[in-house]
Chains A and B, each alone.
Chain A
Amino acid sequence: MKTIIYILSVVFLLTSCSKDFLEIDPEGDFNAENFYKTEGEFNAALTGAYAKLQGQIDIYFELTEYRSDYLDFAAPTAGTQDRFDITKFQDNSANVLIRDAWANYMNGILRCNVITDNLPAANLSESFKKQIEGEARFIRALTYFNMVRLWGDVPIILKQVTPQESLTLGRSPISEVYKVIENDLLFAKDNLKLTNNGRATSGAAKALLGKVYLTQKKYPEAITVLSELIGKYSLQPNIADVFDTTKKQNSELIFSIQFYKGISTEDHGLWLSVSDVTTTPFTQKLLNAYQLAPVIDARKAMVDYRLGGTKNNIFVPGKFYDTPVNTTNNNFGNDYTILRYADVLLMLSEALNEESYQPAGSAFDYLNDVRTRSKLTPLTPTNLPDQASFRDAVLHERFLEFPFEGQRWFDLIRTNTATKEIKSGKGINILPYQLLYPVPQTEIQKINNPSIFYQNEGYN
């Protein structure tokens, strides 16, 4: 009997020990429950938020460049049906690229929100906190800005939400989304450093804020904030220098998503490269747009295909031509520009003209700065006698300046010229509802509450 009691007591003893025995920390992974405390941890979280931007390059290509009058292609091949549908304005709410873009942005916002959620409780210096918060909010603002332009009303998520909460979160009106974006950028503008090797800066915040104002047609505010950048950056003497991989972080770049070919996970896959120059996806409108005489528009070379790759056996648009350094790997390290000084100049020019056409104003100077850099003659009030012609000229200049930089589709929406330009570029008559993308059907199904989470008009 004694033995039984002994054994039973051993069993109970072991039972009571089992609580600790069953608690195993994931040693191989970081556990968020005890993370977000030190500067290093916040820096790592912020790096994670930046890293998300690398994957968003694809969204710029698929959802804005292929949508625009730059790119077109005749027939889908295996795996490109969704891209084809977007290109041809045949997309629907089941389009996987649209769905993935939504998911990608929302995940990016989460990565910013974990930072802003955890910062207040962290025992760290205020200056550090402001810097981290500013960068996170810049990334969040950039993400929301893309979302609001692609889908219109979107859910405003400024903190981590549980699955239960998420079912009650609907889409907020565009105006409220812009308020959030402005708030984030104002904070970033006031709290970030002026320069910060490739990361978000107050300059980047200002440039983006300027674009946000411009998009909302808040011209005076745009002019104010963009003007603060004049002289702080400068145009590269040659357009090719902007993208040259040996001239990263040059004085024209305000914010770009960075890549690095020396590390296998940090390079990228040859944007728009083709194996056969007869099968490029460029529209004739783009190919024919550049002035060839009396001088050749320097930007033509940014669009033209060159033999590229380390083995010179693929064709790459000049803008993404990477000087071969690695003799074995065909990896490319071109950065992807989001904001650059030429953009600021053209935005400012646009905003000034929208405020009022000034034949002798600086709007002409800014426009011509960009033109003359690419060997074109300056435009004068003779060429552009009124606000409307000036407006067209700025838009056209942007067309020439920013192919594949994720600007064009947004420019067309902002200037309300998409219908006309798509028609002239691809021969497609688009309908007004197609200025916005459908919200992914999967999201509508998941929330299953059309009063708060509805489809955009025209889609089902």
Chain B
Amino acid sequence: MKIKLIKVRSLVGERLLFIMKTFIFLFCTTVFSFTTEKSFSQDKIKIDADKIVTVDEVFNIIQSQTNFRFLYPDNLFENASKVQLRKGTIEVSKLLERSFSESKSNVKFKFFEKNTIVVEEIELISKPKTEKPQQPIQISGKVTDKDGQPIPGVNLLEKGVLNGTQTDFDGKFIMSVSNKNAILVVSYLGFTTQEVPLNGQTSIAVTLIESTTTLSEIVVIGYGSQKKAKISGSIATVSISELQDFPVSNFDQALAGKLAGVQILQTTGEPGRELSIKVRGTKTLTAGASPLYVIDGVPIETGDRATEAVNMEDIESIQVLKDAASAAIYGSRGSNGIVIITTKKGKNGVMKVSLDHSTGIQNVSKKIDMMDAYQYAQLSKDGHDAAYLQEIPTGTADDPNGLRPVGYHKIPEELFPYLNGVQGLTNTDWQDEIFRPAVIQRYNLSVSGGNDQWNYFVSTNHSFQEGIVIESDYKKTGLRANVSINSGKFKIGVNTSSTYTFENRVNASGPYTDDGIVASALGMSPTWSVYKPDGSYNFDGNGLWRIGTDYQHNEILNPVAVAKEIQNEVEHYNVLANLFVEYEMIKDLKLKTSLAANYNNYQNEYFEPSIIEKRGLQNYGQLDNNNASLSTTTIYKWTFENTINYNKKVGLHNFEILGGMTAEKSSSRNQRITNFLPPSIPGSNATQIINAGNADIDYGDLTDPNDDRSIISVNATSGLDEWSLFSLLARFQYDYDGKYLLSASIRRDGSSRFAPNSKYGNFPSASAGWRISQEEFLKNKNWIDELKIRGSYGVTGNFEIPNYAFLPLLGGEDYLGASGLKPNNIPNDKLSWETTTMYNIGIDAELFKRQLGFSVEYYNGDTTDLLLNLPVPQTTGFGTFLQNIGKVNNRGYELGLKIAPDLGQLKWTSNFNISFNTNEVLELGPEGTPIEQIVEGVDSAFFRTEIGQPIGNYYLLVQDGVFISQDKLNKYPHFPNTAVGDFRFVDVDKDGFLDVNKDRTIVGNYAPDFTYGFSNSFKYKGFDLNIAYQGSHGGEVLNLLRRYSANSEGNFNNTTEMLNRYQSPINPGDGNTNRANRKSQGNNSRISTWHVEDGSYLRLQNVSLGYSLPKSVLEKLNFDKIRIYATGNNIYTWTRFTGYNPEVNKNSGTQLTPGVDYGTYPLATTYSLGINLSF
């Protein structure tokens, strides 16, 4: 053995030279956590009995009790004498000292900064040289991770020889080996140890693969972090690798199906819209239902502000706190779950540059089969005929219009050529006119690096997404800088992101009555052309068939004109900045102060030129005003946090104590100006119109109606909304030997939103876990790698209640231009948060060398003090009174399954998750009166929330086929005016009579019985393949669009489903579809189960195939990584739902009336090509 010259780099950057024969490094796993173990020499080791052991066994004991790992050649202590241990506890340093002195006195060790032990074998001068020293061979190389990022500090040992080194900042190393065929053992914490045969090479590149073990994975838990193994609550995590390759503008879309118990709903395909995220069911009736987002420690209450503030490629990790115990540290904002997003930080090493780009093409994922012009003409004729024969029974269907007395008996003249089969007539597919193939492009550039003093991660991103509905698009540009500085006991960091988005919106959602483009396109007669021969828009759909003879075809605006001519631009600036200072006051005691600001500014410019008619026959062919509005909303929120954190390890007892105070305040201001100018004054944008109206306001003589000046058109409104929150929080975490886990926390929140008599609330939690796999009796079962049972209990709140709801507020109401004020509500001096109390139990296991893992959880939580607009006698002046009353239960199971068989070169990982949630209303006000609501002004579209049922049920008549003969009609209860061919409804109360109110019943609910996700990843050499599915089962959708598109009246275009309609006794159709009749009777048009559809679906969410260039090529090109990929998103959906998107939820802001489709922006199917580069 020879003395070797070895370079060792301490973490303070000083270069130290040691002369030694060999070395041992001791690593504390927390090197990679946010709190490094400063000194472990005082850590105690417990010896359970007197025994005599080898030095290797001593190291094993230390390893098992402290999480320190020893890496040393097998034979270092081969010849060393054994060590005698006595029962009791002993400090690590003493134990090592004793071991060495007893066994191998020529070995000395020193503790260095940051968990490094250097062990020196002192040259024994007297030792005779027995071998001729071999000529060492100098080799060099580089160690990187799979992304090509260099890894500093990697241990390299020559196998079988006491010889090694570490990589430097750039991941590079130089070492001497004993022979050209030596084998290097390359190891680094968190990565799988590799043995690399040199095979004569003197320069090698080693790629370390992250170890699949999740034991050391750090989970951010709110005001701190914890090892995943020690978590006893319920926290879902998404790994970053699962977020790549999604051609979406915001990250939330990539989460769908990935998290058990977290329902991610894309209710609209409109570019840029945030998704609706629901954690473990609906826990509120009227308050907010969105989770709280925490981005790098900064709480953000609103989904769009959170999702836009973070670019997908900048995300380091996403965690969702699901159970009340985990979320309780966020107190009155915890009930809907917490989504914690951590962004990337620079890593030690040379500057690393990453560049990502993808370009994709999007197409509408589905078109609805609508009738063509000829089919529609026949439907329309049948409808008018039926209306005529119904009122004039002596007539026949062949009677000419002249014989038919009323407009709606007659058939529009324009339809005759179609009915006569003339070919080549206008046959517009309105869906084709409003949808288009659309481009999506994403660019991302990041630069990161750092050293022991500071690290940085700066990035910029840009994405451009055209919408699949014409004229809609979304552009986003973001910048991020995360910088932190270490200086002695201080750590100072800044995380900032600024995002700018620009959207061209179109009015795609909503019914035709609101000029919703999609609903208008579906309802519009295909006999109309988009443009007139002179190139102008064709507005005949807006009343040609009602002027003169009123055929009663409903007026619909040309959706192409609405999309193209109305400008609706939204700009959003979002700045999120966070500065923190951490000070290690004494060992293990850290103080942290953080100040964060989130500034959001929304600018909306809306301009509707005069050529867009007002909908309605009285406006047909008339220019409208030029309508304009400009609005600005500014939301500024600051957060001030002070926390104190103390970590202590006493023997095998680990403690962590957190205390803190936080203050937050948010203010939201908005201004809106509207104006219109008559069509005689042309304008081309909103500002012109506003300014023209503003130039010289002359109200004229208000009492003289002939005074034109008296038209007041400039209208301005403004608003200011503020809230504040002050909190104290504390958490205690304890574990014994990583085996028995305990955690408890409490938060006290005071909020401006709560009434004086209930200003403060306390939110406690406790959880415990037992890692059975750490017990002796299981340790030898080598097929069990991890087995943990855990349970938790906690209390959280929902403070998403209106800002000033407890106060008696006055609202404005004018009378003849005089400003009036009126009481707006009944004040409630006890108004407060909603409270969720939930317990959670779970089992986590990893088996067979972590090739199989599963996790099962059960939770059960009651939400009480539900905020409810409780009916009160009108003698109060109001019909309802906002109170904390009512109770709802959510309970369910979540199962996660992971399969990662070890197939050598082929890396295969599959994750499956499934979540069942049961939602049940337990109390509703003092009397338990059900809440019945109608939606969208459709007076028969009832929702009902009642005790014993989930929230927000459809409460409707039950349609059960059509009567196909008079005989059948006579035998079955029916409405007085029901005729053959009309719907048969179920006599729900079985009283022999149909009653539109008494025969309604609960017929469905939007909430699914279960949701599931299935994602698979395969890697083979340079190739990677990801396939992800997600699905939902058992929910229903109230498809109100069917009021028009499946009404069989002939006044709207209908789906081809209506070709199966009842036509005659010999042609009864499919027995379920009603006859055509413009004056539909028998309550066919009343909302019933005819409009309710199964919303279950399975979606092939994402498939991506990538290829990474091999290292050999990369080295020549000087790149760390070059990967190209192709990906498809939202590829196919298996569903029986006839609309565009079964996830649709028009009123996603309210819980009492969910699941309505009344026109929606369809989802896109996207195929993209992309490239990831880094160097």
Q: Is the CB of A50 within 8 A of B719?
A: no
* B residues 877-894 in Cβ contact with A at 8 Å: 877-879, 881
Q: Is the CB of B816 within 8 A of A96?
A: no
Q: Is the CB of B821 within 8 A of A18?
A: no
Q: Is the CB of A266 within 8 A of B724?
A: no
Decide yes or no: A79 and B821 within 8 Å by CB, A14-B661, A258-B816, A311-B619 being known contacts. no
Decide yes or no: A258 and B815 within 8 Å by CB, A22-B750, A163-B826 being known contacts. yes
Instruction: Give the segment of A109-117, A338-346, A384-392, A394-402 that binds chain B.
Output: A109-117
Interface check B550, CB cutoff 8 A: yes
Interface check B696, CB cutoff 8 A: no
Q: Is the CB of B875 within 8 A of A31?
A: no
Q: Is the CB of A103 within 8 A of B876?
A: no
Inter-chain residue pair count (beta carbon < 8 A) = 237
In the complex the two chains form, what is the Cα distance from A139 to B98 in whole Å? Answer: 98
Q: Is the CB of B873 within 8 A of A169?
A: yes
Question: Taking beta carbons and an 8 Å cutoff, which residues of B are in contact with A?
Answer: 406-407, 546-547, 550, 585, 591, 617-620, 622-625, 642, 644, 661, 663, 665, 676, 678-679, 702-703, 705-706, 708, 710-712, 715, 718-726, 728, 750-752, 759, 803-804, 807-811, 813-824, 826-827, 871-879, 881, 927, 929, 937, 939, 996-997, 1079, 1085
In the complex the two chains form, what is the Cα distance from A139 to B271 in whole Å? Answer: 52
Pick 27 A–B contacts, CB within 8 A, sort by A.
A7-B644, A10-B642, A14-B661, A22-B726, A22-B750, A22-B752, A24-B724, A29-B804, A30-B810, A43-B818, A44-B818, A51-B822, A79-B939, A82-B939, A106-B877, A107-B878, A258-B815, A260-B705, A260-B817, A261-B705, A263-B712, A263-B814, A266-B816, A323-B706, A327-B678, A445-B927, A448-B927
User: When A and B form their complex, which 6 residue pairs have the shortest distance between CB atoms, in order from nearest?
Assistant: A110-B877, A47-B820, A48-B822, A48-B820, A32-B808, A106-B874
Which residues of the partner chain B approach A82 to less than 8 Å between Cβ atoms? 939
User: In the complex, what residue of chain A is closest to B877 when comparing beta carbons?
Assistant: A110
In the complex the two chains form, what is the Cα distance from A205 to B159 in whole Å? Answer: 109
Q: Is the CB of B705 within 8 A of A325?
A: yes
In the complex the two chains form, what is the Cα distance from A285 to B874 in whole Å? Answer: 38
Number of interface residues of A (CB under 8 A): 93
- Of the candidates B546, B661, B705, B723, which one forms a contact with A15 in the assembled complex, judged by CB atoms under 8 Å apart? B661
Interface check A313, CB cutoff 8 A: yes
In the complex the two chains form, what is the Cα distance from A309 to B547 in whole Å? Answer: 14
Most A-side CB within 10 Å, residue of B759, B809, B827: B809
Which residues of the partner chain B approach A14 to less than 8 Å between Cβ atoms? 661, 663, 726
Which residues of the partner chain A approach B642 to less than 8 Å between Cβ atoms? 7, 10-11
Q: Is the CB of A266 within 8 A of B817?
A: yes
Which residues of the partner chain B approach A3 to less than 8 Å between Cβ atoms? 585, 591
Q: Is the CB of A18 within 8 A of B874?
A: no
Which residues of the partner chain B approach A333 to less than 8 Å between Cβ atoms? 705
Q: Is the CB of B679 within 8 A of A328?
A: yes
Q: Is the CB of B808 within 8 A of A31?
A: yes
Which residues of the partner chain B approach A103 to less than 8 Å between Cβ atoms? 874, 879
- Of the candidates B715, B752, B809, B819, which one forms a contact with A24 in the assembled complex, judged by CB atoms under 8 Å apart? B752
Q: Mark A309-334, 1 if CB is under 8 A from B, else 0.
A: 10101100000000101111110010
Interface check A155, CB cutoff 8 A: yes
In the complex the two chains form, what is the Cα distance from A18 to B759 in whole Å? Answer: 11
In the complex the two chains form, what is the Cα distance from A418 to B39 in whole Å? Answer: 98
Q: Mark A46-68, 1 if CB is under 8 A from B, else 0.
A: 11111110100000000000000
Which residues of the partner chain A approach B623 to less than 8 Å between Cβ atoms? 328
Decide yes or no: A245 and B705 within 8 Å by CB, A262-B712, A275-B550, A275-B617 being known contacts. yes
- Of the candidates A22, A33, A160, which one forms a contact with B751 in the assembled complex, judged by CB atoms under 8 Å apart? A22
Q: Mark A327-364, 1 if CB is under 8 A from B, else 0.
A: 11110010000000000000000000000000000000
Q: Is the CB of A328 within 8 A of B678?
A: yes
Which residues of the partner chain B approach A127 to less than 8 Å between Cβ atoms? none
Decide yes or no: A162 and B939 within 8 Å by CB, A21-B726, A263-B814, A442-B871 being known contacts. no
Q: Mark A420-439, 1 if CB is under 8 A from B, else 0.
A: 00000000000000000000
Which residues of the partner chain A approach B644 to less than 8 Å between Cβ atoms? 4, 7
Q: What's the minimum C-beta distance from A244 to chain B, rounded to whole angstroms?
A: 10
Decide yes or no: A330 and B814 within 8 Å by CB, A18-B726, A32-B823 being known contacts. no
In the complex the two chains form, what is the Cα distance from A32 to B825 in whole Å? Answer: 10
Q: Is the CB of B821 within 8 A of A329?
A: no
- Of the candidates A7, A262, A446, A448, which one forms a contact with B705 in the assembled complex, judged by CB atoms under 8 Å apart? A262
Q: Mark A125-139, 1 if CB is under 8 A from B, else 0.
A: 000000000000000
Q: Is the CB of B810 within 8 A of A325?
A: no
In the complex the two chains form, what is the Cα distance from A325 to B823 in whole Å? Answer: 35
Which residues of the partner chain A approach B619 to less than 8 Å between Cβ atoms? 311, 330
Q: Knowing that A24-B803, A311-B622 touch, tell me 19 more A-B residue pairs with CB under 8 angstroms.
A: A7-B642, A15-B728, A24-B722, A28-B719, A30-B810, A31-B809, A32-B807, A45-B821, A50-B820, A79-B937, A81-B939, A96-B939, A107-B878, A157-B875, A167-B873, A245-B705, A258-B816, A314-B618, A328-B679
Which residues of the partner chain B approach A248 to less than 8 Å between Cβ atoms? 703, 705
Q: Is the CB of B808 within 8 A of A260?
A: no
In the complex the two chains form, what is the Cα distance from A160 to B881 in whole Å? Answer: 14
Q: Is the CB of B876 within 8 A of A161?
A: yes
Decide yes or no: A166 and B875 within 8 Å by CB, A275-B618, A311-B622, A327-B678 being known contacts. yes
Which residues of the partner chain B approach A265 to less than 8 Å between Cβ atoms? 814
Q: Is the CB of A26 within 8 A of B807?
A: yes
Interface check A102, CB cutoff 8 A: yes
Decide yes or no: A313 and B822 within 8 Å by CB, A248-B703, A262-B702 being known contacts. no
Q: Is the CB of A163 within 8 A of B876?
A: yes
Interface check A35, CB cutoff 8 A: yes
Which residues of the partner chain A approach B721 to less than 8 Å between Cβ atoms? 28
In the complex the two chains form, what is the Cα distance from A24 to B808 in whole Å? Answer: 14
Q: What's the minimum C-beta distance from B878 to chain A, rounded to whole angstroms?
A: 7
Which residues of the partner chain A approach B708 to less than 8 Å between Cβ atoms? 325-326
User: In the complex, what residue of chain B is closest to A273 when comparing beta carbons?
Assistant: B618
Which residues of the partner chain B approach A28 to less than 8 Å between Cβ atoms? 718-721
Q: Is the CB of A94 within 8 A of B712?
A: no
Q: Is the CB of A162 within 8 A of B810?
A: no
Interface check A123, CB cutoff 8 A: no
Which residues of the partner chain A approach B406 to less than 8 Å between Cβ atoms? 278
In the complex the two chains form, what is the Cα distance from A321 to B708 in whole Å? Answer: 19
User: In the complex, what residue of chain B is closest to A33 when comparing beta carbons?
Assistant: B808
Which residues of the partner chain A approach B679 to less than 8 Å between Cβ atoms? 328
Which residues of the partner chain B approach A27 to less than 8 Å between Cβ atoms? 720, 722
Most A-side CB within 10 Å, residue of B622, B644, B706, B875: B875
Interface check A246, CB cutoff 8 A: yes
Q: What's the minimum C-beta distance from A258 to chain B, rounded to whole angstroms?
A: 6
Which residues of the partner chain B approach A440 to less than 8 Å between Cβ atoms? 874
User: In the complex, what residue of chain A is closest to B727 when comparing beta carbons?
Assistant: A18
Q: Is the CB of A47 within 8 A of B618?
A: no
Decide yes or no: A107 and B819 within 8 Å by CB, A22-B751, A28-B721, A246-B706 being known contacts. no
- Of the candidates A44, A111, A162, which one forms a contact with B876 in the assembled complex, judged by CB atoms under 8 Å apart? A162
Which residues of the partner chain B approach A106 to less than 8 Å between Cβ atoms? 874-877
Q: Is the CB of A32 within 8 A of B618?
A: no
Q: Is the CB of B822 within 8 A of A111?
A: yes
In the complex the two chains form, what is the Cα distance from A47 to B813 in whole Å? Answer: 8
Most A-side CB within 10 Å, residue of B702, B876, B927, B1079: B876
Q: What's the minimum C-beta distance from A202 to chain B, rounded to whole angstroms?
A: 20
User: In the complex, what residue of chain A is closest to B811 when comparing beta carbons?
Assistant: A29
Q: What's the minimum C-beta distance from A368 to chain B, rounded to whole angstroms?
A: 33
Q: What's the minimum C-beta distance from B1000 to chain A, rounded to whole angstroms?
A: 12
Q: What's the minimum C-beta distance from A275 to chain B, rounded to whole angstroms?
A: 6
- Of the candidates A18, A32, A160, A325, which one forms a contact with B809 in the assembled complex, judged by CB atoms under 8 Å apart? A32
* A residues 257-292 in Cβ contact with B at 8 Å: 258, 260-266, 275-276, 278
Decide yes or no: A31 and B807 within 8 Å by CB, A18-B726, A22-B752, A245-B705 being known contacts. yes
In the complex the two chains form, what is the Cα distance from A110 to B824 in whole Å? Answer: 11
Q: What's the minimum C-beta distance from A196 to chain B, rounded to whole angstroms?
A: 13
Q: What's the minimum C-beta distance from A126 to chain B, rounded to whole angstroms?
A: 23
Most A-side CB within 10 Å, residue of B804, B927, B1085: B804
Which residues of the partner chain A approach B715 to less than 8 Å between Cβ atoms? 264
